C-alpha cells in the first residue's frame, strides 16, 4: 500500500537530510505508529506520502504508483485515497459539523443524494449524530477532532494519515479518538499515525516505526513507544 524505496529528503539550505535512505513497506490494512523525537522526520515522511514534498532521491509508492512520477493533474485523484487528520483539527469555522464533512464530498463532485447518505452515516460512526448543526467553536476539542476524523473518512479512503491527532487532547479524550481510528482500521483502511503519545502507543501495541535524525532505527510489530522515552 505504501513503499519507501531508499528515500532521502533534504530540504534546501538544510545541512542534514530530514530523511535518509529510508526503506519501509506498509501493507493494506496495517496500523502503524511513527515515533521519534521532534525533528526526526515524521512529518516529512507523511508529507512525502501526500506528495506535499518530493524525495531528493529514492522512490515513494502509494497504492502501487510511484507518486512522484504522477502527472500533476493526477495528484487530486491520489489525495482522494488519502484521508488526513492533524493536531489542530483544521475545520472550517463558519460551517456546521454537517457542512464540514459534506464539504469533503462536494469538492470531489459527489451527488447531493450521496452526501445525504454518507454524512449522517459517518457522523454516527464518530458519535456526533446529535451535534450535526453545531459550529466548530461550539464543540470540545475531542468533538472537533471527531469531526476531522469523519471528514477524513467520509470518502472511505484507502489510507488514513494522522499527524499527532491527539496532541491537543487530554488522555481520556485521546483514548476515544484512538478507538475511532482503530475502528476505521478494522474496516480495512490502512492507518499511519505520527505521535509523541507514549501512553497510546504502549496501550495499542501496533507496529511501531521509530525515526532518529531521519533514519529508521526500529521497526517493530506490536511495539511500544520506546525504551529511553
Ligand atoms: N519545509 C522545510 N524546510 C526546511 N527544513 C525543514 C522543513 N520541514 C522540516 N524541515 C526540517 O527537517 C527535519 C525533520 O522535520 P519534521 O518536521 O519531518 O520532523 P518531525 O519528526 O515531524 O518533528 P515534530 O515531531 O516536531 O513535528 C527537521 O530538521 C526540520 O527542521
Atom 26 of ligand 1, residue of closest alpha carbon: 38
- In this structure, is residue 102 part of a structural domain? yes
Atom 1 of ligand 1, residue of closest alpha carbon: 11
Is 42's C-beta closer than 6 angstroms to any atom of ligand 1?
yes
- In this structure, is residue 187 part of a structural domain? no
Residue 229: its pLDDT value, please?
A: 46
Total of domains in the chain: 1
- Structure ipTM over 0.90, yes or no: yes
By most ligand atoms within 8 Å of CB, the mutation choice from 8, 9, 10, 18 for ligand 1 is 18
Task: Provide CB contacts within 8 A for 116, sequence distance 6+.
Answer: none
As to burial, measured by CB atoms within 10 angstroms (0-12 exposed, 13-18 middle, 19+ buried), residue 99 is middle
Would you give the DSSP letter of residue 39? T
- In this structure, is residue 40 part of a structural domain? no
- In this structure, is residue 112 part of a structural domain? yes
What's the pLDDT band for 227 if we cut at 50, 70, 90?
low
Task: Provide CB contacts within 8 A for 190, sequence distance 6+.
Answer: 1, 2, 26, 27, 28, 29, 30, 31, 32, 158, 159, 160
- In this structure, is residue 168 part of a structural domain? no
- State the average pLDDT for the chain: 95
User: Phi, psi at residue 111, to the nearest 5°?
Assistant: -75, 160
- In this structure, is residue 145 part of a structural domain? yes
Question: 116: domain range?
Answer: 93-156
Question: How many whole angstroms separate alpha carbon 188 and alpha carbon 91?
Answer: 25
Is 9's C-beta closer than 6 angstroms to any atom of ligand 1?
no
- In this structure, is residue 82 part of a structural domain? no
Reported as type and span, the H/E element at residue 61 is strand 57-62
- In this structure, is residue 188 part of a structural domain? no
Helices (H), 154-211: 171-186, 198-204
Q: What is the pLDDT of residues 112-145, one digit of tens each?
A: 999 999 999 999 999 999 999 999 999 999 999 9
pTM of the predicted structure, to 2 decimals: 0.94
Amino acid at each position: 500500500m505504501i513503499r519507501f524505496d531508499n528515500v532521502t529528503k533534504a530540504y534546501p539550505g538544510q545541512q542534514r537530510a530530514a530523511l535518509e535512505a529510508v526503506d519501509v513497506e506498509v501493507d493494506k490494512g496495517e496500523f502503524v505508529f511513527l515515533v521519534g523525537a521532534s525533528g526526526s522526520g515524521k512529518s516529512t515522511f507523511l508529507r512525502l506520502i501526500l506528495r506535499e514534498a518530493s524525495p531528493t532521491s529514492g522512490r515513494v509508492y502509494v497504492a502501487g504508483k510511484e507518486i512522484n512520477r504522477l502527472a500533476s493533474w493526477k495528484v487530486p485523484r491520489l489525495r482522494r485515497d488519502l484521508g488526513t487528520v492533524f493536531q489542530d483539527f483544521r475545520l472550517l469555522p463558519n460551517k456546521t459539523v454537517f457542512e464540514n464533512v459534506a464539504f469533503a464530498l462536494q469538492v470531489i463532485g459527489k451527488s447531493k443524494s450521496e452526501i445525504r447518505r454518507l454524512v449522517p452515516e459517518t457522523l454516527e460512526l464518530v458519535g456526533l449524530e446529535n451535534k450535526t448543526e453545531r459550529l466548530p467553536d461550539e464543540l470540545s476539542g475531542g468533538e472537533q477532532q471527531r469531526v476531522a476524523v469523519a471528514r477524513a473518512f467520509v470518502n472511505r479512503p484507502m489510507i488514513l494519515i494522522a499527524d499527532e491527532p491527539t496532541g491537543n487532547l487530554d488522555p481520556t479524550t485521546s483514548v476515544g479518538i484512538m478507538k475511532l481510528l482503530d475502528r476505521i482500521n478494522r474496516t480495512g483502511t490502512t492507518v499511519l499515525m505520527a505521535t509523541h503519545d507514549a501512553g497510546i502507543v504502549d496501550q495499542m501495541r501496533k507496529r511501531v516505526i521509530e525515526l532518529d535524525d531521519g533514519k529508521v532505527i526500529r521497526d517493530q510489530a506490536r511495539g511500544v513507544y520506546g525504551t529511553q522515552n
